[in-house]
Amino acid sequence: MLGPLKSDGSFSAEPVAQLAKNWKRENLRVVVFVQQRGSRHILGAAEIPLAGSAN
C-alpha cells in the first residue's frame, strides 16, 4: 500500500524500487491499482512503461 487518498480526492507518492542491473528497463511496466479499503474492490488500474518514468 502506498497510501490513502486525501480528503480532496488527490493522491501522490514517490515509491522507490531496486531493480537488478541486468533487467531491460525498456521491457518493464509499472502497474498501479486503486482499491477500496473495506471491500478490496478494484476501482481502477493503469500501467506505464518504466523507461518513460523518471527512474
pLDDT score, position 27: 92
pLDDT score, position 55: 44
Distances 32 to 20, 21, 51 between C-alpha atoms, Å: 21, 23, 16
Q: What percent of the chain has pLDDT over 90?
A: 36
Higher pLDDT pick, 29 / 51? 29
CA neighbor of 19 nearest in space, from 4, 32, 29: 29
Most confident residue range from 8-12, 23-27, 51-55: 23-27
- pTM of structure: 0.59
Burial class (CB in 10 A: 0-12, 13-18, 19+), 44: exposed
Non-local (6+) Cβ contacts of 35 within 8 A are 41, 42, 43
What are the tens digits of pLDDT across the range 31-55? 988 888 889 999 999 998 987 555 4
CA neighbor of 24 nearest in space, from 47, 51, 48, 46: 51
